[in-house]
Amino acid sequence: MIQNNSLVSNPKKKRKQNDKRKEYTQQILSPLFVEYYKKNLLENGYLREEEWKTFLLIQKTKLPTTFHITNIEKSLDHVKQCLSKLCVIKDQKKIRTNSKNEDEKEKENEDQKENEKEKEKEKKKENEQEKEKDQSVTDLPILTRLSWYPKQNAYQLAVDRSVLKKKAKFENLQEYMKRTESQGLIIRQELVSMVPPLMLEIQKNDYVLDLCSAPGSKTCQLIEFMLNHDQDNFSKGIVIANDVSIKRSNTLYHRIRKLNYPNILVTNYKAQWFPKFLENIEINKKEIQDENEIEKEKEKEIEEKEEDKEEEEKEKEEKEKEKEEGKIKEKEKKEKEKEEEKELEIKKINGIETKIKNINNKDLKESKTNSTPKTHKPKYKNYKIMYLDKILSDVPCSGDGTFRKNFTASETWSPQLALGLHPMQFQIAKRGIELLKPGGRFVYSTCSFNPIENEAIIIRLLKHFGTDKLKLIDCSHWKNKGLKFTGGMTNWKVMALNKLPQKYNENNSNKNKKRNRNRNRNRNRNRNRNQKKNTNLNTINRKIEEDEDGNNINQNGIERERVMDNKEEGKSKKEEEKNMEKVEKKIQITDNTIQEEKRENKKKYLWFDSYEQVPETFQRKIHPEMFPPNQEEIKKYHLEKCMRFLPFYQNSGGFFVAVFEKNEDFQIKEKQNKMYNKDPRFPYKPLVPLKKIYKEKNFKTCLEEEIYNKLGINENLNLNNLYTRSNKLKNIYFVGDSLKTVLLGCSSYLKVINAGIHVAKMENYGFRFVETGLKIISQFVKRQMQVPTDIIIKFLKTTDPINRKEFDKQLQGKFLKLQNGPAIFKTIHQNIEYFISVYIGRNNISSFIDKSSRKNMLSDLEYIANELKN
């Protein structure tokens, strides 16, 4: 156990000193952070000296801008074309990322290969330099295409966001990125944060769960991968985005709704207690059918009925025959029984009746059980537990990999954070693996460098489930694609502050928080009261404690006695005064040292090599699982299969990713858990099928009137896919087929923040279409019109209704045909569809467009209109 106390600093003071707007380079990296990782990255041999230096240096530089194209429209090529006009696009360079942890042989081979390639590279570099020269003439920004991202859809721009906004050179690119981002065509995301969803290798029709999803950058990727497989938005895959924070989940929903994915469910559970969902199997069988299939089935039914009739007739004939035969047999049986009874009577007489009775009773019982076996009726007959194909667990963490994005976070960093988070991170990951299908894939990730939050969790999971049931997957093939990372570490030390702060307490429940708040309040009150009392008492005491000469006699008894002795010895007053001064100085010095010591005690932190060194007082906070594996475990668990992303590998933040697969023969306990308990604190009303509400309110007339006639929805839309939140019928959500089976399978007490896509909203005059759902619902809406881009721009420029007469006669004629009511206007440019929701009134047409999207869509369409003119 090593003690050290020189490096801890006061984060609050530092925060005041550090201006937020200051350049990162001027700021000081937390000495505690440096000390911690010096031990756990440099001194354990994970990094070399030069690597360590670059690691520290890069922490104080800002992150470059990275983004990926979403491919949600058929617009991918168009976006790529625009980018190539606005920037010079280069392919990613291959930089070596050596780490002592990697296999040395591999390195040597790589060295040889690289030497051979170097010459080629030099030539290429020369070419690139020439290109750069050209670029400096044109002064276009350079975009680096990330080779490892699917379809090379991700890009990195060397400058950070603030530079992008300020410098004239980036103005056009910034403007374009803003527009496309608002349309959901590109998503800005930290480079390494893009990795975990990729590792899930999403397949069409996968059921995916993101356990800690908000604010949703990774969930967006998950949806994108689904859409890549199925452009028509009707893939059978489901994405469940869960987060404990309702506020953050709402921001997530605002982000993902742009992707128009109908099989999305946003839930609000503590991930470690995420319930097992049920699926309604019957719905799957009955409803997910094409019209053709239904017709075919009808034909089949008719044929089958005819066949059935024939069979019935045949059966009747056979039964009649059997009856006749049966009558004969019954006669024979009865005769036999009579004979047996006679025999019994004879035996009774012989006095052995009791034995026979017993035997007969047994036979009777057996025959009863055989004829009517007790059939175990399953509680949920038409339902099955839903296990997931892919699960992402991007757990809450200390976040020290994000300092380049948020430097102020480094000031509050403490080794205690990891100690406090470890148990929850394990519980979340454990639950994830429990919910996974056999053969399913699970990804664990954090944006922390800390092995206690990373490798320690991985070992704990492998130990808990067993390596025969859970496999750590080797993802080293991603290196060939250009992704730079190193394996997990096997050696680290645990650091703890000498005094454990209460706020990172393991049981930091709301109750505890409340209790602490009350305690603090009471303490403050008492302190105030005591202060008042003390001020009075102090004045009295001071009077008592000062002697006639004004000497303070309260502090050091021994010295005071000496002074008194001197007095008695009759020394002169001057000498006495001198002595008193000396004593006072001494007392002051001792006081200061005591206070300093107290401060130091608070700051001190301790290093532990193994759990045996941990004193009892720390054992509540530091667990044996937090320590590195022994030699045997290192061989067994293969931590080199984990992926560590350090910031200097590819100019990014820090990240940790581990990929698991659940073995096919993993036995799942089919236990039903308490999932549908109503949570009275959950603020949202239950989600129910629209049909159910209409059934209560004269279904036929209402449904036909409101949905088919007024909204103009055609019969292609299965009404079972429409959901609403409450009995008031305020909003309608469109839910994909697969998600519908889950919603029908689960009770209405499911804590759903959002499901599917919001498509319609009730106003005074009836339903109207909602902007978010226009793209998806337009496929089923009769009341829609394709209009010229100018018309859409006209609506975007004003929030007021526009008089019908302001449009040309041809359009007016079309409006007349459509008749009054809600409708959708659309225009198409470069394969991108632009929709607006309108209400056609007797004289005016009103549009319903969000303030921000009004602005963004307008700038986009005006840009397009200008392009067309030129």
Binding residues for S-adenosyl-L-methionine, by number, are 212-218, 243, 394
Residues whose CB is less than 8 angstroms from the CB of residue 482 and which lie 6 or more positions away in sequence, other chains included: 92, 94, 146, 147, 148
As a whole number of angstroms, the distance between CA 755 and CA 748 comes to 12
Q: Which residue's Cβ has the minimum distance to ligand SAM?
A: 212
Using CB under 6 A, which of the segments 107-115, 213-221, 577-585, 723-731 binds ligand SAM? 213-221
Binding residues: 212-218, 243, 394
- How far apart are the C-alpha atoms of 209 and 440, rounded to whole Å? 11
Please tell me whether residue 712 binds ligand SAM under the rule CB under 6 A: no
Nearer to ligand SAM, 394 or 640 (CB): 394
Site string for ligand SAM, 171-210 (x = CB under 6 A): ----------------------x-----------------
212 is a contact residue toward ligand SAM (CB under 6 A): yes
| Nearest distance in Å: CB 390, ligand SAM | 14
The window from 8-16, 239-247, 277-285, 551-559 that contacts ligand SAM (CB under 6 A) reads: 239-247
51 contributes a contact to ligand SAM by CB under 6 A:
no
Written as six digits, the tokens of 153 are: 């859809």
Among 101, 153, 217, 652, binds ligand SAM (CB under 6 A): 217
214: contact with ligand SAM by CB under 6 A: yes
- Sign of the CA dihedral running 763, 768, 771, 773: positive
Q: Which is nearer to ligand SAM, 441 or 710 (CB)?
A: 441
* Shortest Å distance, C-beta 243 to ligand SAM: 5
Cβ atoms within 10 Å, residue 58: 20
C-alpha closest to that of 759 among 260, 226, 247, 222:
260
Q: Please name the residue that has the structure tokens 């399913």.
A: 440
The least CB distance from residue 217 to ligand SAM, in Å, is: 4
Which strand ranges, in their side-by-side order, compose the sheet holding 688-689? 688-689, 722-724, 731-734, 757-763, 766-769
- Per annotation, catalytic residue among 82, 220, 397, 447: 447
Q: How far apart are CA 232 and CA 263, in angstroms?
A: 12
**Residue 443 DSSP SS3:** strand
Question: Which amino acid belongs to residue 143?
Answer: L
Q: What is the CA radius of gyration of the chain?
A: 38
Contact assessment for residue 643 and residue 485, using Cβ atoms and an 8 Å cutoff:
yes
Question: Whole-number minimum distance, CB 673 to ligand SAM, in Å?
Answer: 16
Among residues 38, 39, 62, 248, which is the contact residue for ligand SAM, using CB under 6 A?
Answer: 248
Residue 218 touching ligand SAM (CB under 6 A): yes
Q: Specify the residue, 18 or 250, whose C-beta has the smaller distance to ligand SAM.
A: 250
Of residues 80, 229, 270, 471, which one binds ligand SAM by CB under 6 A? 270
Residue 78 CA to residue 99 CA, distance in Å, equals: 41
Is 609:495 a contact under the CB 8 Å cutoff?
A: no
CA–CA gap between residue 463 and residue 444 (Å, rounded): 16
Q: What does each C-alpha distance from 212 to 188, 391, 580 come to in angstroms?
A: 19, 10, 67
- Of the residues 216, 451, 628, 756, which one makes contact with ligand SAM according to CB under 6 A: 216
Coil, helix or strand at residue 142: strand
Taking CB under 6 A as the criterion, the residue among 215, 482, 766, 801 binding ligand SAM is 215
The question of whether 475 is a catalytic residue gets the answer no
Residues linked to residue 758 through DSSP beta bridges, in sequence order: 733
Cα 67 to Cα 135, 161, 190, 291, 813: the distances in Å are 22, 12, 7, 42, 45
CB 210, min distance to ligand SAM, A: 6
- What minimum distance in Å lies between the beta carbon of 646 and ligand SAM? 18
* Alpha carbon distance 411, 20 (integer Å): 12
Per the document, the length of the chain is: 870
Q: Minimum CB separation from ligand SAM for residue 215, in Å?
A: 5
Q: Report, in Å, the least distance between residue 265 CB and ligand SAM.
A: 15
Interactions with ligand SAM, residue window 557-596 (CB under 6 A): none
Stretch of 16-24, 244-252, 569-577, 788-796 lying at the interface with ligand SAM (CB under 6 A): 244-252
DSSP 520-539: HHHHHHHHHHHHHHHHHHHH
Please answer whether residues 754 and 253 qualify as being in contact, where contact means their C-beta atoms are separated by less than 8 angstroms: yes
By CB under 6 A, the count of residues binding ligand SAM is 17
Nearer to ligand SAM, 216 or 654 (CB): 216
**Closer Cβ to ligand SAM, 194 or 760, answer by number:** 194
Among the residue ranges 240-248, 497-505, 620-628, 851-859, the one whose residues contact ligand SAM (CB under 6 A):
240-248
What does residue 713 show for φ and ψ, rounded to 5 degrees?
A: -80, 135
CB of 273 to ligand SAM, least distance (A): 8
Are the C-beta atoms of residues 225 and 732 closer than 8 Å to each other? Answer: no
Tell me the per-residue interface mask from 384 to 423 with ligand SAM, x by CB under 6 A, - otherwise. ----------x-x---------------------------
Which listed residue (271, 429, 752, 753) binds ligand SAM by CB under 6 A?
Answer: 271
- Is residue 654 close enough to count as binding ligand SAM by CB under 6 A? no
Pairing of strands 207-210, 238-242: parallel
Contact residues for ligand SAM, defined by CB under 6 A = 193, 212-218, 243-245, 248, 270-272, 394, 396
Q: Which residues are catalytic?
A: 447
